[in-house]
Structure 1
Amino acid sequence: MKNHTFTFMGTGAGCGVPSFFCDCPACEEARANPRARRGDCGTMIKGEKTLFIDTPPDLRHQCIRENVRRIDEVLYTHCHSDHVGGLLELEYLVQLKQKEALPVYGSAETLAGIAQEFHYMTYALDMREIAPMDTVEFDGVKYTALPCTHAAGTYGYLIETGDTRMFYASDTGKLPSETYERLQDIDILAMDATFWKNNWSPAAHHSVQECIEEGLSLNAGKIYLTHLCMHYDEPITLVELEEFLTQYEGRVEAAHDGLTFEI
């Protein structure tokens, strides 16, 4: 019986949708239609306790939207600002409510970056290094850190409940072979789909088309596109993207902020 939910707290690339400086069709669509708006990437897995993957700059607003009152543990994918920038909110959570250091996991590179950037609040964090291929068990769920093709020390997480195998990787180019091999026949794949058509940064990100191709090659049961910019390299509106995805008959879906399902 499924007793955990997975929520996309944010599904956008670093500049968000709409970007404040942009008047492309995708950003104009998002200004008019809340469903098309995207904050920076992060997720929540909730059972009896609550685990977050990443703490983006939009964290406070995302938590208010989802009525989050407690965070019990955090896993980090990497130390870029669009994934750690909301960490300051955790200091207030610890100081004012939870009263004990919050366990946070990441690679050696990620934790070193956090300790340097947020040196004034490390007292509020119980920082725990996790090596590639290591597994953390929390609230009945297994999280395995799998290397991704992005910044040094970047992980995606294989999430295993009693019912579901899911892989979440917000930032990655083509998956490393050791990661790819672990993900054959995965039930759910939620992966970087930053670019539409032309991929400016193939060593660090996927395009929509590349994400779908790799997901299908893994025989993933369901593919969610995330870390969507919507105006790299060519703007595409949500309406246009969803029309493009109809050819996959529901197997591929553009994730949106607040999307929740059971795992």
Structure 2
Amino acid sequence: MTDHRFTFMGTAAGCGVPSFFCDCPACEEARADPRLARGDCGVMVRGERTLVIDTPPDARHQLIREDVRRVDEVLLTHCHFDHIGGMGEYEYLVQLVQKRPLPVFGSAEALAGVNGEFHYMDYCLDEHVLAPFDEHVFDGVRYTACPVAHAPGTYGYLIETPSTRMFYASDTAALPPETAERVRGCDILAMDATFWKRNWSPDAHHSVQECIEEGLALGAGTLYLTHMCLHYDEPITMAELNDYLRQYDGRVVAAMDGMTIEI
């Protein structure tokens, strides 16, 4: 049985932490301590082979940080820039090393977005449409495309190994009922926690508080907060956020870039 490792490649909302334009306490904290910096959201699952979910603009730096030399498949959550902006980095992997089109899976909307932005890469992407709740098995792991509440065609992925059920949804508001039932009782849930307190976009994102409320109601064994902005509505530093999370006795964790979980 292959052991698999799930790595948070990036854990920020689109503007990253620190944002180049921002001098809030959260950004200043990350400037002072680069370990607290966050790149745009993406994750990696490694076993005998390597799969990434999303190709954020920071992809090259994230892959170098994790000493990744090849990527065998890509799953897409959706086609917003902060999730596909690094797709161009993979053209050279195909051209110079792998010498075969890179398999890319996602909704019809996500793939259409990639084709619009990266039309010049049509020769090196082997695209596959996933319909809602389609399953895809790769390297001994089952991935189920679960619709979430964000842009049209956005998926979270139920990730199942022989020992672990995990759900990853980087961008979502309250989960649609069928998806919620599919992921109830997961060992691990990693979910959108974009806002602190006031949610500017309640139809498309969670706040930290809303993520925790839904995640615990779904019976998640451990809940990882991701896609965090930390700027809005009140800036919050990681020191303050970790202090807030102590009340959950380790069941709720603020994910960090590079954090790895055995699954």
- TM-score category, normalised to shorter length: over 0.9
| CA shift digits 1:56-90 (9 cap, x unpaired) | 00000000100000000000000000000000011
Provide the C-alpha distance between the structure 2 equivalents of 1:40 and 1:184, rounded to a whole number of angstroms. Answer: 27
Read off the aligned partner of 2:252 and give its amino acid letter: V
Aligned: 1:252 with 2:252: yes
Contact 2:2–2:140 under 8 Å retained in 1: no
**Contact 2:50–2:72 (CA under 8 A) maintained in structure 1:** yes
Partner of 2:188: 188
Match of 1:22 in 2: 22
Q: Which residue of 2 aligns with 1:221?
A: 221
CA contact (8 A) 1:172 1:205 kept: yes
Q: Between Structure 1 and Structure 2, how many residues are aligned? A: 263
Tell me, yes or no, if the aligned pair for 2:2 and 2:48 is still in contact at 8 Å. Answer: no
Which amino acid in 2 is paired with 1:3?
A: D
Give yes or no for contact 1:192–1:211 (8 Å, CA) kept in 2: yes
- Deviations for 1:75-111, whole angstroms, at most 9, x for unmatched residues? 0000000000000011011001100000000000011
8 Å contact 1:11–1:256 — kept in the other structure? yes
Amino acid of the structure 1 residue aligned with 2:153: G
Q: Which runs of 4+ in 1 moved over 3 A?
A: none
TM-score scaled by structure 2? Answer: 0.99
Q: Does 1:105 align with 2:92?
A: no
Q: Percent identity?
A: 72
Name the structure 1 match of 2:63. 63
Contact 1:2 1:163 in 2 (8 A): no
Find the counterpart in structure 1 of residue 131 from structure 2. Answer: 131
Aligned twin of 1:32:
32
What is the aligned partner in structure 1 of residue 158 from structure 2?
Answer: 158
Shift of 1:33: 0.8
**What secondary structure does 1:241 align onto?**
helix
Opposite residue 162 of structure 2, the aligned amino acid is G
Distance 2:152 2:122 in 1: 21
CA RMSD of aligned residues (A): 0.7
Shift of 1:239: 0.2
Q: Which amino acid aligns with 2:107?
A: S
Does residue 173 (structure 1) correspond to residue 162 (structure 2)? The answer is no
Taking structure 1 as the reference length, what is the TM-score of the superposition? 0.99
CA contact (8 A) 1:2 1:262 kept: no
Q: Distance in 2 between matches of 1:246 and 1:45?
A: 28
Output the CA distance in 1 between the equivalents of 2:102 and 2:119. Answer: 15
Q: What CA distance in whole angstroms lies between the structure 2 residues aligned with 1:111 and 1:65? A: 27
Q: Which runs of 5+ in 1 are unaligned?
A: none
Paired residue secondary structure (2:261):
strand
Once residues 253 and 114 of structure 2 are traced to their aligned partners in structure 1, the CA distance between those partners, rounded to angstroms, is 32
Asked if 2 retains the 8 angstrom alpha-carbon contact of 1:107 and 1:154, the reply is: yes
